Structure 1
Amino acid sequence: MSSARIVRRVGDSPRQRGSATGQTCPDLFELSDGNFAVIGTDRTEELDALLPADAARADYERIVVITRDTLLRAKRDIPDV
């Protein structure tokens, strides 16, 4: 089990993006180990067979979809390097 912790949200909160509840929407977080965690909709079954030939997914990995708005609002918080 990883000892990484959530350091910060990347981008606007779901409520700032217009979620009525602010609780059940896509989200992005930077972790203490430098990686990012994504909350999104699991669409692995639907998209797995559509991956390009040079893409692969391990059994423990999922294809997670977030809204375009979520990613665009996070862009300002993602470092260039």
Structure 2
Amino acid sequence: MSQIIRRIGASPRARGSVSGQNCPDIFELSDGNFAIIGTDATTALDAELPSDASRAAYERIVVVTRETLVRAKADIPDD
């Protein structure tokens, strides 16, 4: 199993979360993949997927705030 190597982007507190809990987050994993903490929107968005997109039964559609992703942009590797 992969391990979390580092946070990508600003922490929830740096983005204005008073408690620092229950906020979207992005992490780089030891295998080069990324783990996302976000709101499960699978039920709401599954039917909205384009015809050339699909997900496995074990995959979920997760929503993160725009601010979370924009503030992570500088930390995402180019390769």
Residue 13 of structure 1 corresponds to which residue in structure 2?
Answer: 11
Identity percentage over the alignment? 70
How far the C-alpha of 1:59 sits from its partner, in A, is 0.3
How far the C-alpha of 1:20 sits from its partner, in A, is 1.1
Residue pairs, 1:1-80, within 5 angstroms: 3-80=1-78
Runs of 5+ unmatched residues, structure 1: none
- Report the aligned-residue RMSD: 0.4
After superposing on structure 2, the runs of 4+ consecutive aligned residues of structure 1 that deviate more than 6 Å are none
Distance 1:59 1:35 in 2: 19
Question: What number of residue pairs does the alignment pair up?
Answer: 79
Distance 1:29 1:79 in 2: 12
TM-score normalised over the length of structure 2 = 0.98
- The amino acid across from 2:33 in the alignment is N
Output one character per residue of 1:39-81: Cα deviation in whole Å (capped at 9) or x when no partner: 0000000000000000001000000000000000000000111
Runs of 5+ unmatched residues, structure 2: none
Distance 2:56 2:34 in 1: 18
